[in-house]
Amino acid sequence: MGLAVLCAGLLVALVLLHLGWRRRYRELRQIHEQTVQRWARSHTEFVQEAQTRLTAVLNTLAEGILLLDEHHRVLLANPAFRSLFQPPAAPEGQPLLAALRWHELDELSRALSPEQPALTRELAWSGPPERWLRVSAAALFDAAGKRLHTILVFSDLTRLKQLERVRQEFVANVSHELRTPLSHIKGYVETLLTGAASDPALQQRCLQTIARNANRLELLIEDLLTLAELESGQVALQPRPISLPDFVGKILQDFQPRASARQIQLESQVPPLRVRADPLRLEQVLANLLDNAIKYGRQGGHVWVRARTSSDEWVEVAVADDGPGLPPEACERVFERFYRVDKARSREQGGTGLGLAIVKHIVQRHGGRVWVESQPGRGATFYFTLPSAPEPAVAVTESPAVAAAPSAASKVAGNGGLSGGDTRE
Ligand code: ADP
């Protein structure tokens, strides 16, 4: 009996222990599941956050990025890559060669090996659009030397290459322009040294040619220095209000003898407008345009200077002639340094090929625009815009008659000379 009670008690104790352990086990499992879930959630969040960050970096990079898998198929391409190789392709999933059809790039990527896991080359992409690119390629290999991933980074060198080409062309042009008058000078000096001294007529001709070419060299160097000064941006403009009709009138007076030599009539159609400009620079602009209009215009023809208000803040000035004008393709290029429609004619007229480039720089430094409109055989009109200057404030006086006539006061001539602006503001 006692044994039966002991056994029953033991059994009950065992059952209770079991139930206790089962509850504890459930609690522990629950805790474990919650921990696993929390860990999984934070891992997913971590991965998502890392992915968002990576995407943000790839999207903002100026360099094009291409990630390839072990079979040279594109895994990822960032927006900069797509904009480099317009029209934007969808290269993901395609083999590199099929995606771009660019053999040199494919060769560069395949040239990577465990011994040489990174390479950089400058490659030309035939376009469209045509580009120069620096491509840096790097590959990841496993311990057995099997390629896992390849990354290609594209930096656009097109702008740099273009600037380099412009610089080289400029140096070549300058050398050519300097060499021509210099070789003339040398040639005639030699003629003088080898006997022309005894022939006064020949001597005179030689000296005249030497003087003309020396002049040409001087003009060229002056224009080059002006351009360099303007391009450096180091020379500050000294803008002030200028009364346009007076300013134009005085320049036209200076050009009268040259115009008369070609029987060209100069006309000013400039209303009483005021611009805010550096007087010395504005004089250079008008002088270059008038010089061209007289030089390239029709003998016995007309040259006009016109002006109008183009908006509240801008005045548009035009210099027009009724000469042979310019072909359409030249209208786009005349403001380039050394561009000439007819090289021989320009040189014969003493042109340096830099006048319109100087005009463009000066106008742009004032914040304005410059352009040309022309139809071959029907003259050319060169336009430029300058900021308008406000009418001078009218002082309050005792006489109502004076106060009532502000615009008349503003129309009075302003500057005393070409290099002096209208100082009233
Ligand atoms: P250049 O010293 O040769 O005159 P510019 O830069 O002033 O150099 O002008 C560039 C070229 O633009 C000239 O060589 C000429 O061919 C053309 N050009 C400029 N102005 C006119 C014009 N009014 N009519 C026709 N062609 C012009």
- Torsion sign (Cα): 346, 228, 282, 361: positive
353 lines ligand 1 (CB under 6 A): yes
323 lines ligand 1 (CB under 6 A): yes
Residue owning the nearest CA to atom 18 of ligand 1: 292
Output the DSSP codes for 410-423: HTS---SSTTS---
pLDDT at site 425: 36
296 lines ligand 1 (CB under 6 A): yes
pLDDT at site 393: 65
Q: What is the pLDDT along the chain (425 residues), one digit of tens a residue?
A: 678 888 888 898 899 999 999 999 999 999 999 988 989 888 888 888 888 888 888 888 889 999 999 999 999 889 898 888 875 567 888 888 888 888 999 999 999 999 999 999 999 988 778 889 999 999 999 999 999 999 999 999 999 999 998 889 889 988 988 998 999 999 999 988 887 767 888 888 899 999 999 999 999 999 999 999 888 887 789 999 999 999 999 999 999 999 999 999 999 999 999 999 999 999 999 999 999 999 999 999 999 999 999 888 999 999 999 999 999 999 989 999 988 888 777 777 778 889 999 999 999 999 999 999 998 889 999 999 999 998 776 655 444 333 333 333 332 233 333 444 443 33
* Distance in Å, CA 386 to ligand 1 centroid: 22
326 lines ligand 1 (CB under 6 A): yes
Contacting residues for 238 by C-beta, under 8 A, at least 6 apart = 278, 279, 280
Q: Which of 340, 349, 372, 381 to mutate to test the pocket of ligand 1 (most atoms within 8 A of CB)?
A: 340
CB distance 394 to 406 below 8 Å? yes
381 lines ligand 1 (CB under 6 A): no
Helix (H, G, I), strand (E, B) or coil at 340: coil
Closest atom, ligand 1, to C-alpha of 323:
24
pLDDT at site 139: 94
374 lines ligand 1 (CB under 6 A): no
Start-end of CATH 1.10.287.130 domains in the chain: 159-235
- Give the pairing type, strands 370-374 and 380-387: antiparallel
Contacting residues for 281 by C-beta, under 8 A, at least 6 apart = 237, 362, 365, 366
- What is the CATH class of 159-235? mainly alpha
Query: How many residues in total does the chain contain?
Result: 425
Please state, in angstroms and rounded to a whole number, the distance separating the CA atoms of residues 232 and 366: 15
Please state, in angstroms and rounded to a whole number, the distance separating the CA atoms of residues 420 and 396: 27
CB distance 285 to 277 below 8 Å? no
Q: What is the pLDDT of residues 162-180, one digit of tens each?
A: 999 888 988 998 898 899 8
Closest atom, ligand 1, to C-alpha of 288:
7
Contacting residues for 363 by C-beta, under 8 A, at least 6 apart = 285, 369, 370, 384, 385, 386
pLDDT at site 421: 46
Please state, in angstroms and rounded to a whole number, the distance separating the CA atoms of residues 108 and 131: 17
Start-end of CATH 3.30.450.20 domains in the chain: 64-156
318 lines ligand 1 (CB under 6 A): no
* Distance in Å, CA 159 to ligand 1 centroid: 28
pLDDT at site 407: 33
Residue owning the nearest CA to atom 19 of ligand 1: 292
Residue owning the nearest CA to atom 14 of ligand 1: 340
Q: Which of 220, 356, 360 to mutate to test the pocket of ligand 1 (most atoms within 8 A of CB)?
A: 356
At the topology level, CATH places domain 238-425 in Heat Shock Protein 90 (3.30.565)
pLDDT at site 350: 75
Please state, in angstroms and rounded to a whole number, the distance separating the CA atoms of residues 41 and 37: 6
Residue type, position 383, single letter: Y
Q: Which of 180, 220, 262, 296 to mutate to test the pocket of ligand 1 (most atoms within 8 A of CB)?
A: 296
* Distance in Å, CA 301 to ligand 1 centroid: 17
Of the options 3.30.450.20, 3.90.1300.10, 3.40.50.1820, 3.30.1490.20, the CATH number for the domain spanning 64-156: 3.30.450.20
pLDDT at site 42: 87
Start-end of CATH 3.30.565.10 domains in the chain: 238-425
Residue found by looking up tokens 């040279």 in the block: 72
pLDDT at site 419: 42
CB distance 230 to 361 below 8 Å? yes
pTM of the model: 0.67
